[in-house]
Amino acid sequence: MCGIIAYAGSKQCKNILLNGLKRLEYRGYDSAGIGILSINHIPEAKNPVVEIKVVKEAGKIKVLEELLSEVEMHGVCGIGHTRWATHGEPTRINAHPHFDCKQKIAVVHNGIIENYAEIKEELIKKGHVFVSQTDTEVLPHLLEEYLKSKTNINLLMAMQKLLKKIKGSGAIVAISVENPDEIVAGRIASPLIVGTSKEGNFLASDMPAVLEHTRFFTVINDYETVCITRDKVKIYDSNGKPVKRNPFKVNWSIESAEKGGYEDFMLKEIFEQPYGIRETMRGRLLDGELNFKELNLTDEQIKNLNKIQIIACGTSYHAALTGKLVIERWAKIPVEVEISSEYRYRDPIVGEGCLFIAITQSGETIDTLAAIREARRKGAKVIAVTNVVGSTVARESDSVIYTHAGPEVGVCATKTFSAQIVVMYLTGLYIARVKGLIKQENYGRIIEELRIIPDKAQIILNNADRIKKIADETFRYTCFLFLGRIYGFPVALEGALKLKEISYIHAEGYAAGEMKHGPIALTDNKTVVVGVIPQDFVYEKMLSNLQEVKARNARIFTIVSEGDKNTEKYADYIFEIPKTLEELNGILAVIPLQLYAYYIAKNLNRNVDQPRNLAKSVTVE
Ligand code: AGP
């Protein structure tokens, strides 16, 4: 997830681009840059000389701002980008815009090019030289290649050809010295909008970037291309035929537009989960097969694994617990899961054949970092699972598997959690495949179910109002127990953590079978028991556990699989989630619990994005 802005108009564009990037910083902030078409009138030259001036740097937008304050950049047509790294660390070289060989075409991009490695190889063979580690850099080189291969092809046509060549996602915006007053863009599965005004036209990833200039927008759809100049916007369909589309008007404030119209970042991020899940699978789940080389283990090493240790804190720890269940089930390797702060002090045994996985959305959690250092000191090979490219954990690990959930602003982890679970599913499945432990039929079934999980997550989100209603009726309770078994247990823990974190209500997550060993004593008519009970092999056991708490007069709220009417007899509230394979229930069942915590906290007027006493990155012990 990155932020893009482009402007072609009558005003100098440097500050328009810079201010637009500031408004997009919530989409990514590890490096930023702008590129402006600059026309120089040289007295002795016949025609003006056009060049693309680029200023870019690693760090937040204010770093770019300081640089720009010292640089003269004139021009009325330009592009800007704020980056959330996916391929290549956040450095100046990897920052956008990227150039072709002759620096005549510049491109900014938001998305992931799945087949960039093969395209890069083809281009290198044709003599192209690359300077960055990014997937994006293949784009200006491809455009250059298309333009030089035929005389009657323009930048727009080259962009149309490019969209057919690349696999993955992208909002791609390009400028060229050949046409200094136009900007060309194309879109596949990443947001791209056009803003229109009397003083010029804009392209952007999101409305806040240009709301101070216009309130009139047009959405560009998948595989469409668009060309903007100072006074024209031309949109084309995937066959290159012109499309007529009238702009619509929005009345949002800039602040609410940053949150995509949602009241809080947390709610926006909960709703972004279908996107985060899909992006995290992108390029790794291809045409019914798993491409998961990032594990960075040879088949031989995988076959020799005798133990996996996973360490993490908080929500990431709950993703680790889900990882244990699927890895043990599919890949038949014992998995130890441990809280990072405990691991570092207990003299853990690592040994030959032990794989160590550290999960951390921020990549900066000090306890996780210390555990990684301890494991490496003992000779373990460390794989990090993180959402932040170039974070300390990413740098200090042997290899990294990135979740591609996009930046998470709310302190409460939501979309990064579902993305971490995706990585756990892929890890378990990949190891099982290499070890030859999974039948083709079962493998195919899991892959197909994973492919449609984002749509199922969307179905849950479409019913968020139902959860809101349950929250409205239960927010005054002061004791909540979240119960689950096997795949439902980490979900129960996560549901309880979400609730306590943002509502400040006491909540506990328990393995339902453990109730009789103590916690059931808490249960009375002042308790809400949330039962995570989708269809699986412990379903009947969960039913009995819920009956036990009902007999103690608790209020019962069940999360069940679609069409399940069995809990109607004793549940006060029921929420149905789409059916899936039992191993995958967790990623769906957690979404209603995130929403439940959110709506309860809103009823209590809590600051859900910045709950008291908490920070997004816990960098102290
Ligand atoms: C989750 O909502 C919390 N903010 C917290 O438990 C968090 O998951 C924990 O601090 C771990 O953070 P990390 O994933 O960045 O390492």
Please check whether residue 201 is in contact with residue 233, taking contact to mean a CB–CB distance below 8 angstroms: yes
Rounded to whole angstroms, the Cα distance separating 489 from 317 reads 12
List Cβ neighbours of 37 (8 Å cut-off, separation of 6 or more). Answer: 50, 51, 52, 75, 77, 78, 175, 177, 180, 181
Q: What is the pLDDT of residue 351?
A: 80
Structural Rg of the chain based on CA atoms: 26
Is the beta carbon of 365 within 6 A of some atom in ligand 1? yes
Helices (H), 246-326: 254-258, 265-271, 273-281, 299-303, 314-326
Please check whether residue 68 is in contact with residue 57, taking contact to mean a CB–CB distance below 8 angstroms: no
Q: What is the pLDDT of residue 259?
A: 85
In the three-class reduction of DSSP (H, G, I as helix; E, B as strand; rest coil), residue 607 is classed as coil
HEC per residue, 550-572: HCCCCEEEEEEECCCCHHHHCCC
Rounded to whole angstroms, the Cα distance separating 484 from 592 reads 14
In the three-class reduction of DSSP (H, G, I as helix; E, B as strand; rest coil), residue 407 is classed as coil
Ligand 1 atom index nearest CA of 497 = 2
Q: What is the pLDDT of residue 261?
A: 83
Q: What is the pLDDT of residue 88?
A: 80
Is the beta carbon of 313 within 6 A of some atom in ligand 1? yes
CA of 316 to the centre of ligand 1 (A): 6
Ligand 1 atom index nearest CA of 412 = 2
Helices (H), 12-60: 14-23
Question: Which residue lies with its CA nearest to atom 10 of ligand 1?
Answer: 314
> End-to-end CA distance of the chain, in Å?
30
The pair of structure tokens assigned to 220 is: 């560009």
The pair of structure tokens assigned to 561 is: 């699989």
Q: What is the pLDDT of residue 564?
A: 96
Torsions phi, psi for 56 (to 5 deg): -150, 155
HEC per residue, 183-196: EEEEEECCCCEEEE
CA of 329 to the centre of ligand 1 (A): 26
Question: Which residue lies with its CA nearest to atom 5 of ligand 1?
Answer: 314
The pair of structure tokens assigned to 444 is: 């195919």
Is the beta carbon of 76 within 6 A of some atom in ligand 1? no
Question: Which residue lies with its CA nearest to atom 7 of ligand 1?
Answer: 314
Active site residues: 2, 616
DSSP string, 587-601: HHHHHHHHHHHHHHH
CA of 499 to the centre of ligand 1 (A): 14
Rounded to whole angstroms, the Cα distance separating 495 from 488 reads 10
Q: What is the pLDDT of residue 604?
A: 98
DSSP string, 419-438: HHHHHHHHHHHHHHHHTT-S
Is the beta carbon of 362 within 6 A of some atom in ligand 1? yes
CA 478 vs. chain centroid, Å, equals 33
Ligand 1 atom index nearest CA of 414 = 2
Rounded to whole angstroms, the Cα distance separating 261 from 382 reads 40
CA of 29 to the centre of ligand 1 (A): 20
Is the beta carbon of 368 within 6 A of some atom in ligand 1? yes
Question: Which residue lies with its CA nearest to atom 16 of ligand 1?
Answer: 360
**What is the pTM assigned to this prediction?**
0.81
Rounded to whole angstroms, the Cα distance separating 178 from 181 reads 9
Helices (H), 359-408: 366-377, 392-396
CA of 469 to the centre of ligand 1 (A): 28
Q: What is the pLDDT of residue 123?
A: 97
Chunked into runs of 10 residues, the chain (621 residues) has average pLDDT values of 92 96 82 93 81 94 93 94 84 96 96 92 96 95 92 92 92 96 93 94 91 92 96 96 91 76 94 95 89 90 95 98 98 96 88 92 92 92 89 90 90 97 97 95 96 98 98 97 98 98 96 92 93 96 93 95 93 97 98 98 96 81 70
Ligand 1 atom index nearest CA of 315 = 8
CA of 616 to the centre of ligand 1 (A): 7
Q: What is the pLDDT of residue 86?
A: 79
Q: What is the pLDDT of residue 97?
A: 97
Counting ligand 1 atoms within 8 A of each CB, the residue from 361, 396, 403 with the most, and so the one to mutate, is 361
Q: What is the pLDDT of residue 254?
A: 75
Residue with tokens 């690990």: 397
Identify the CA nearest to 588 among candidates 452, 483, 481: 452
